[in-house]
Amino acid sequence: MSRFTSQPSSSDTSTGVKFIIKKEILPSKYQVHGSLTQICNKCHVERSIDYFHWRDHKTKLQKQCNVCRRKIDQQHKTKNVYQYILYLAKRLQYKFGKKLRKTCYLQKEEFVELFIEQHKLFGMKCPYSGVTMTYDLGEGKKETNISIDRFNSDKPYEKGNIIFCCSISNTMKYNSAYHRFIEWCDRLAAHKDEIPAIKEYLCKQKNK
């Protein structure tokens, strides 16, 4: 536990002020109002030090709060579509690299090269759905955001098996083969007229 965030003693708790072991090392930027706080130099909001990352071997706090740092990070990742592809590739390697669930034989830069090739043919349109793909962060999961799909889910992330599609198409396809994915999409579309009957059934079920 850091010396800056050590638990207060009973006497300290009674006065409502947290205790710092070595008061002489307390920087002026810390303010004590029942707990330790710091003012972010970006949004100028006073927050608990829990909102700030430690740096320099946990002897100092970052000047920007986690909220502002997250926004800056998101702006960097969505600066352009190529930065976003690099972000997706890095996330892919981090997510599956250690678990070895889905093998990836490509470097981050190779994903960008593959996207450029696909862009020449399809532009920013999703090859599966035809919708215009986006690359936004900070608004939750967006269905039109670019996603990296393995066309053949039995094969790894490798050249000849990579498609950049919208997130919702990738989610729907999941681990299905493409022909099975299309087959079930056709089945769902063919039965769309049954939706009113389904809703009517659910209303009756609810009122029983």
CA dihedral defined by 96, 99, 101, 102, rounded to 10 degrees? 30
- What architecture is domain 80-175? 2-Layer Sandwich (3.30)
In the three-class reduction of DSSP (H, G, I as helix; E, B as strand; rest coil), residue 194 is classed as helix
CB distance 92 to 104 below 8 Å: yes
Pinpoint the residues of the chain covered by CATH 3.30.40.220.
80-175
CB distance 90 to 67 below 8 Å: no
Alpha-carbon distance values, 115 to 101, 107, 134 (Å): 23, 13, 14
- pLDDT (tens place) for every residue of the chain, 208 residues total: 444 444 444 444 333 334 343 344 444 444 434 458 888 998 999 888 888 888 766 677 888 899 899 888 888 899 999 999 999 998 887 654 455 456 788 999 999 999 999 999 999 999 999 999 999 998 788 999 999 999 998 888 999 999 999 999 999 998 888 888 899 999 999 998 999 999 998 998 988 7
